[in-house]
């Protein structure tokens, strides 16, 4: 019996051909082809309008005549003189093509003329690290990768070299091997606009002497030349828009004078840590902390920064010469700073100044408990940057939704990291054509007649309900070895479908397991009521059930619900690191009710 099963399984595993059209696709084809064997461009047009919610016009890529011609040419190499209609298989192939029928728009479509503070911005943390926060190499390669993915904010920690005559980029007081600042700057210049024309912001964590600050200013000026945006208005009271800042580079750091009055740096001896790498688990615990490298202060004054490894605790007690100070200061487009006093005082909005405040993830969570509306008011005009706590030495990440719910523009992530939170970050910035800038929802920017703003703690009514149907998956047989999931039989796939968003919207559901099939047909529907659809992300994961071990990972994606196209769509899946698979995709349907 065992040998018979092996034979059957291997025969099934190597079965060629495409996924069969699901029953509902057959019914739709039959309906719109009016019972015929072929669907004409006019009939396809009706389907696109009524089911897919598309606005079809003659000049668009959705011109049905052109779409039919392109599809037939691609599939069958049929010329324009041959038939101009689709069979059921052609129709199914079109619907299951991630290129022809994607789940979200691929163009920039939001208003890009509002001030920069009105946008969520794709933001990296310690962008030069190749791996963990303590001992990995520093390099320009992760910076290039991030920029090519559409990241718009790059962070560089700059330090003097041992002879104090040049500038290095490294994670201070750790074992990370440095990279020269000039190399990072040149790579930023070469790759800044490979994925998006909108501005790149370089946040500098500065540990330099006045002389080296002057040298950094010279390097930056000579590298970027006309690309560099230097505001005439020191406090940037009139913040330009992404549209105005296309193809420009901006610098954000503390002005030199900020360092004069700051406390001296606590010089703590570095502790050697043994970090055990834990395998990503299947549940939603969103990453466990693996070490404790810093004590957290609970008072408001200490809460801006709780780690020796992070930005705003650093100081430089040198005296600054006027000419060196002014040259360096002139380059700073977005002023950062750590105000004295309580967190509430730090969130006060100043009429004549736009600034950037940085908070650790713990400080943000603390502020969100009692100062939610203060955060909203602050982020309506000023920049808020959130960064991972220092205990995330393996370069894990935190929940980004807390920052977005409170209007934080720069939710800074370890882009070289891993895990579900990074999937969410990548998902959010698939919005707006993947340009790295996503306009904040109106409710985060509105001020009511009595000067009231959105309160993240308010209990909200359901605004919209999303209905998701998952028909079938395919592509694993092309992208994986036949024995990848199971040595002796085809895989047993199941899918998890759910929502990441504000706490009331968060949920995760699961399909049945389809046994022994490379092309699982689940044909299941799920309904998701949403109170804040503007910030909600659709999470999709596929796993292969394993009775004796941990289930195998088989793909994931996160899609911004505000961007979802209605109707039947081909949804590409990505690996754990966020790289798109060549062939793996799902056929799904989205409807808002």
* Count of residues in the chain: 593
Q: Mean pLDDT throughout 315-340?
A: 73
What pLDDT does residue 417 have? 87
Is the pLDDT at 90 greater than 70? The verdict is: yes
Residue 231 backbone class (left: φ over 0; alpha: ψ -120 to 50; beta: rest): beta
Instruction: Record the pTM.
Output: 0.87
**By three-state DSSP, how is residue 539 classified?**
strand
Residue of higher predicted confidence among 349 and 301: 349
In this structure, of 194-203, 338-347, 455-464, 536-545, the range with the lowest mean pLDDT score is: 338-347
Q: How far is Cα 545 from Cα 547, in angstroms, rounded to an integer?
A: 6
81 burial level (CB within 10 Å; 0-12, 13-18, 19+): exposed
Is the pLDDT at 396 greater than 90? The verdict is: yes
Report the catalytic residues. 125, 171
Helix count and strand count (H, E) for the chain:
17, 19
Contact between 494 and 552 under an 8 Å Cβ cutoff? The reply is: no
Contact between 181 and 169 under an 8 Å Cβ cutoff? The reply is: yes
Contact between 136 and 394 under an 8 Å Cβ cutoff? The reply is: no
In this structure, of 316-330, 450-464, 546-560, the range with the lowest mean pLDDT score is: 316-330
Contact between 257 and 325 under an 8 Å Cβ cutoff? The reply is: yes
Q: How far is Cα 352 from Cα 232, in angstroms, rounded to an integer?
A: 14
Is the pLDDT at 267 greater than 60? The verdict is: no
Q: How far is Cα 259 from Cα 317, in angstroms, rounded to an integer?
A: 6
- 216-237 core/surface letters (b: 16 or more CB in 10 A; e: else): bbebbeebbeebbbebeeeebe
What pLDDT does residue 275 have? 36
**By three-state DSSP, how is residue 389 classified?**
coil
Is the pLDDT at 58 greater than 70? The verdict is: no
Q: For domain 464-592, which architecture applies? A: Sandwich (2.60)
Distances in Å between the alpha carbon of 159 and those of 150, 171, 213, 314, 354? 27, 9, 10, 12, 27
Q: How far is Cα 507 from Cα 510, in angstroms, rounded to an integer?
A: 10
Distances in Å between the alpha carbon of 591 and those of 429, 560, 585? 22, 14, 19
What pLDDT does residue 12 have? 43
Q: How far is Cα 381 from Cα 338, in angstroms, rounded to an integer?
A: 17
Could you tell me which residues come within 8 angstroms of residue 589 by beta carbon, excluding any fewer than 6 positions away?
A: 24, 467, 468, 469, 471, 567, 568, 569
Contact between 356 and 382 under an 8 Å Cβ cutoff? The reply is: yes
Q: Which among 352, 354, 402 has a CA at the least distance from the CA of 378?
A: 354
The fold adopted by the segment(s) 11-95 is: Recoverin; domain 1 (1.10.238)
Q: Which among 20, 6, 3 has a CA at the least distance from the CA of 483?
A: 6
What percent of the chain shows pLDDT beyond 70? Answer: 83
Q: How far is Cα 429 from Cα 409, in angstroms, rounded to an integer?
A: 12
- Summarised one tens digit per residue, pLDDT across range 189-228 is 999 999 999 999 999 999 999 999 999 999 999 999 999 9
Q: Which among 222, 169, 223, 230 has a CA at the least distance from the CA of 199?
A: 230
What residue spans define the domains of the chain? 11-95, 116-261+295-445, 464-592
Distances in Å between the alpha carbon of 9 and those of 380, 482, 487, 491, 518? 59, 11, 10, 10, 11
> Of 131-140, 285-294, 305-314, where does the model show the most confidence?
131-140
Domain 116-261+295-445: assigned CATH number = 3.20.20.190
pLDDT band (50, 70, 90) for residue 65: confident
Q: Mean pLDDT throughout 86-96?
A: 96
What Rg value do the Cα atoms of the chain yield, rounded?
A: 26
Contact between 103 and 569 under an 8 Å Cβ cutoff? The reply is: yes
> Residue 342: what are its φ and ψ, rounded to 5°?
-80, 170
Q: Mean pLDDT throughout 27-37?
A: 96
Q: Mean pLDDT throughout 133-151?
A: 97
Is the pLDDT at 316 greater than 70? The verdict is: no
**Residues paired with 561 in a beta bridge:** none
């Amino acid at each position: 019996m065992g040998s018979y099963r092996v034979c059957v399984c291997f025969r099934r595993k190597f079965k060629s051909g495409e996924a069969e059209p699901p029953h509902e696709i057959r019914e739709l084809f039959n309906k719109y082809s009016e019972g015929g064997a072929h669907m004409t461009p006019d009939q396809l047009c009706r389907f696109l309008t009524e089911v897919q919610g598309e606005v079809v016009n003659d000049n668009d890529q959705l011109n049905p005549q052109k779409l039919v011609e392109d599809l037939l040419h691609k599939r069958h190499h049929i010329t324009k003189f041959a038939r101009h209609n689709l069979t059921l298989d052609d129709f199914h192939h079109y619907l299951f093509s991630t290129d022809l029928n994607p789940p979200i728009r691929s163009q920039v479509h939001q208003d890009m003329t509002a001030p920069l503070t009105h946008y969520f911005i794709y933001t990296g943390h310690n962008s030069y690290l190749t791996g963990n926060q303590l001992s990995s190499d520093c390099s320009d390669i992760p910076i290039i990768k991030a920029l090519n993915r559409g990241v718009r904010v790059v962070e560089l920690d700059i330090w003097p070299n041992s002879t104090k005559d040049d500038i290095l980029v490294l994670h201070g007081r750790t074992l990370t091997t440095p990279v020269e600042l000039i190399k990072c700057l040149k790579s930023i210049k070469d790759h800044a606009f490979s994925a998006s024309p909108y501005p790149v912001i370089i946040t500098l964590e500065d540990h330099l002497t006045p002389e080296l600050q002057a040298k950094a200013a010279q390097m930056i000026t000579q590298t970027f030349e006309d690309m560099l945006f230097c505001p005439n208005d020191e406090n940037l009271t009139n913040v330009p828009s992404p549209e105005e800042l296309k193809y420009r580079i901006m610098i954000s750091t503390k002005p030199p004078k900020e360092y004069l009055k700051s406390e001296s740096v606590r010089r703590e001896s570095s502790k050697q840590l043994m970090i055990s790498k834990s395998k990503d688990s299947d549940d939603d615990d969103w990453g466990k902390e693996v070490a404790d490298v810093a004590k957290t202060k609970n008072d408001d004054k200490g809460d801006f920064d709780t780690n020796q490894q992070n930005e705003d605790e650093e100081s430089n007690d040198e005296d600054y010469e006027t000419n060196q100070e002014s040259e360096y200061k002139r380059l700073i487009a977005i002023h950062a700073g750590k105000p004295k006093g309580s967190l509430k005082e730090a969130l006060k909005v100043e009429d004549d100044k736009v600034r950037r405040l940085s908070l650790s993830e713990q400080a943000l969570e603390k502020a969100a408990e009692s100062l939610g509306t203060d955060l909203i008011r602050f982020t309506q005009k000023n920049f808020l940057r959130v960064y991972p706590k220092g205990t995330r030495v393996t370069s894990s990440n935190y929940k980004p939704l807390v920052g977005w719910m409170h209007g934080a523009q720069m939710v800074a992530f370890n882009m070289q990291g891993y895990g579900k939170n990074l999937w969410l970050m990548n998902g959010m910035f698939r919005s707006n054509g993947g340009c790295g800038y996503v306009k904040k929802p109106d409710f985060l920017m509105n001020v009511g007649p009595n000067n009231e703003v959105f309160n993240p703690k308010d209990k909200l009514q359901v605004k919209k309900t999303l209905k998701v149907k998952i028909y079938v998956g395919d592509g694993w047989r092309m992208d994986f070895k036949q024995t990848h999931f199971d040595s002796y039989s085809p895989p047993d796939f199941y899918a998890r479908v759910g929502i990441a968003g504000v706490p009331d919207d968060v949920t995760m559901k699961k399909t049945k397991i389809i046994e022994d099939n490379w092309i699982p047909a689940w044909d299941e529907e799920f309904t998701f009521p949403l109170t804040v659809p503007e910030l909600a992300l659709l999470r999709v994961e596929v796993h292969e059930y394993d009775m004796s071990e941990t289930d195998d990972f088989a793909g994931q994606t996160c899609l911004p619900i505000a961007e979802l196209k209605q109707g039947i769509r081909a949804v590409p899946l990505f690996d754990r690191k966020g790289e798109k698979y060549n062939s793996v995709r799902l056929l799904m349907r989205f409807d808002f009710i």
